[in-house]
Amino acid sequence: MRAYVGLGGNLGDREATLRAAVQLLDAEPGITVVAVSSFVETEPWGYADQAWFLNGVCAIETELGPRDLLGRLLAVERRLGRIRGDGPRFGPRNVDLDLLVHGDLVVDEPGLQVPHPRLAERRFALAPLAEIAPELVVPGHGPVADLLAGVE
């Protein structure tokens, strides 16, 4: 199944960290990275008093369900030194991996929402997503191109 993962960070060598995250994801059993967007510098969202972010998206093929995939994303974050809950919400972080879309699934469970609940509001995720998957229809929201046009 095709899934899309948002990549971001604003501490340290941002590009090296995002590239390392992609390599670690690709090395995970049951995950194959099939495309990676350009990385774009973006203004902080939700907590403005911090450095700008570098953001991108990768497309993966996976046999994992959403909950197991999320567990792998969080494990990769930890391997790269991220400690979730350390600092303000939406605050500075060296790496952030978000499960944006997982096939045509819609999931709303404690600790897991797919598609990502704020995807339709975030140009920094929609633009790289549209770059690598311009025909993607986000379940429950519509075509990614329409969503991107709505935030521009």
pLDDT at 86 over 90: no
Q: What backbone torsions phi and psi does residue 86 show, to the nearest 5 degrees?
A: -95, 100
Alpha carbon of 86 to those of 20, 73, 81, 122: distances in Å? 21, 17, 11, 23
Report how far residue 117's alpha carbon sits from residue 111's, in angstroms, rounded to the nearest whole number.
11
Q: How many helices (H) and strands (E) does the chain have?
A: 4, 9
Q: Which amino acid is at 114?
A: V
CATH of the structural domain 2-117, one choice from 3.30.70.560, 3.20.20.450, 3.30.70.20, 3.40.718.10: 3.30.70.560
Report how far residue 11's alpha carbon sits from residue 126's, in angstroms, rounded to the nearest whole number.
22
Which residues are identified as catalytic?
Answer: 82, 93, 96, 98
Report how far residue 27's alpha carbon sits from residue 127's, in angstroms, rounded to the nearest whole number.
26
Helix 123-132 × helix 144-151 angle, to 10°: 150
pLDDT tens digit sequence for 96-118: 999 999 999 999 999 999 999 99
User: How large is the average pLDDT for residues 122-149?
Assistant: 96
pLDDT at position 144: 97
Give, for 131, the enclosing helix (H) or strand (E): helix 123-132
* Residue ranges per structural domain of the chain: 2-117
CA angle 78, 84, 90 (to 5 degrees): 125
CA angle 67, 113, 144 (to 5 degrees): 115
- Which residues lie closer than 8 Å to 108 by C-beta, 6 or more apart? none
The pTM score is: 0.95
pLDDT at position 124: 94
pLDDT at position 150: 93
Written as six digits, the tokens of 137 are 């229809």
